[in-house]
């Protein structure tokens, strides 16, 4: 698998990193670029890493896709060129994602005029913003993997933490990656402690430093906006309600939810699927009562390939 990185200016003091992955002998020249967008307090590393199997990127590239992953502002290999950290969800979901999509089309070798876009966790929300608030966005098909639109249900701990949104603007967390690397092995020893996010029984946690490479420090204003969104259920920006506006989305939509997700519960991850006007939409539930899957399990568990990667690739092939 070949990897090449391009940096593009987002117009707000950041040079976003766009990573292209292909398997040259298998690349389908007649297709569209496939762009994977990460979510909250993370970067795109986890899409190209799996502890004991093919990663999401590797699996899709082997299937013939030109796969792109994106590092948005303050993520991964993106470069800060005067940009500040006083940004919010719309700054990322509209400005950064728009710049990334344009950059991918500019550097792609396929000559396509649109992309197929996969949003993971909050990345799914960013793509709903694109589809609802930037109808000219060059997106042909939309995939939401565990991303919220409306918080129809929230884990009790998450809801309690979100009860006072202004608190989150006042707190700037640093060293989150180092902390996660220390906490992960300890939490794995406590039965059920990690289950809202992942299940150690189906995840190899022997290299926590690799899993934690995807962790980024959360941004105060983004924290506050997420807390307010969880409290109010709908994301509102000015006079725009994202849930209401998403009802006009008609793009083909695949929704993948984890049946035991404690971060974005199934009722919340499914909210976009239930709202949009898309005539061509398909819902996949990963995990079952015997083998439950949570948020992180969608990408790094032993079940990820059969439960997430393959259904995603199959849907793209069927819809092409």
Residue linked to tokens 């996969």? 118
Report which of 171, 7, 146, 22 is spatially closest to residue 79, judged by C-alpha positions.
7
The angle subtended at Cα 286 by Cα 130 and Cα 145, nearest 5°, is 15
The whole-number pLDDT of residue 276 equals: 98
Q: Which long-range contacts (CB under 8 A, 24 or more apart) does 302-307 make?
A: 302/52, 302/53, 302/202, 302/203, 302/204, 303/202, 304/50, 304/53, 304/56, 305/53, 305/54, 305/59
- 147-201 pLDDT, tens digit per residue, is 999 999 998 888 877 776 776 665 567 889 999 999 999 999 999 999 999 999 9
Domains of the chain in start order, with CATH, are 2-319 (3.40.50.1820)
**Mean pLDDT per 10-residue section of the chain, whose length is 320 residues:** 97 98 95 96 96 97 98 97 95 98 98 98 98 96 98 87 70 82 93 94 95 93 92 96 98 98 97 96 97 98 98 92
CA 83 to centroid of chain Cα atoms: 22
This prediction's pTM: 0.96
Residue 46: Cβ-neighbour burial (10 angstroms; 0-12, 13-18, 19+): buried
269 near 160, Cβ under 8 Å? no
Non-local CB neighbours of 23 within 8 Å, separated by 6+ positions: 1, 2, 61, 62, 64
Residue linked to tokens 């029984």? 201
The whole-number pLDDT of residue 169 equals: 67
Residue linked to tokens 């006072």? 164
φ, ψ of residue 314 to 5 degrees: the values are -65, -40
DSSP 162-202: TS-THHHHH-----HHHHHHHHHHHHHTSTTTTTTT--GGG
The whole-number pLDDT of residue 135 equals: 86
Tokens of 316: 């793209």
Non-local CB neighbours of 83 within 8 Å, separated by 6+ positions: 10, 12, 13, 14, 73
């Amino acid at each position: 698998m070949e990897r090449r990185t391009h940096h593009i200016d987002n117009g707000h003091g950041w040079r976003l990193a766009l990573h292209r992955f292909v398997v040259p002998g298998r690349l389908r020249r007649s297709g569209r670029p496939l762009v994977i967008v990460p979510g909250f307090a993370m970067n795109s590393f986890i899409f190209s890493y799996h502890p004991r199997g093919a990663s999401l990127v590797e699996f899709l590239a082997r299937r013939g896709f030109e796969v792109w992953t994106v590092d948005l502002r303050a993520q991964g290999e993106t470069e800060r060129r005067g940009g500040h950290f006083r940004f919010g969800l719309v700054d990322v979901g509209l400005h950064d994602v728009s710049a990334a999509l344009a950059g991918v089309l500019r550097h792609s070798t396929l000559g396509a005029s649109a992309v197929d876009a996969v949003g993971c966790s909050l990345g799914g929300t960013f793509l709903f913003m694109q589809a609802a608030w930037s109808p000219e966005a060059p997106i042909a098909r939309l995939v939401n993997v565990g991303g919220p639109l409306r918080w129809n249900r929230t884990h009790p701990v998450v809801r309690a933490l979100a009860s006072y949104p202004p608190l989150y603007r006042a707190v700037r967390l640093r060293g989150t990656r180092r902390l996660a690397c220390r906490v992960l092995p300890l939490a794995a020893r406590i039965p059920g402690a990690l289950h809202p996010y992942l299940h150690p029984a189906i995840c190899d946690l022997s290299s926590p430093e690799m899993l934690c490479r995807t962790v980024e420090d959360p941004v105060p204003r983004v924290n506050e906006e997420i807390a307010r969104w969880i409290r109010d259920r709908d994301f509102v920006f000015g006079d725009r309600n994202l849930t209401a506006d998403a009802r006009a989305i008609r793009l083909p939509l695949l929704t993948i939810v984890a049946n035991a997700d404690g971060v974005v519960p199934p009722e919340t991850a499914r909210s976009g699927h239930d709202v949009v006007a898309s005539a061509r939409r398909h819902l996949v539930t990963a995990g079952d009562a015997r083998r439950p899957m949570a948020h992180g399990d969608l990408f790094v568990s032993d079940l990820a390939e059969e439960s997430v990667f393959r259904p995603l690739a199959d849907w793209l092939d069927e819809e092409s």
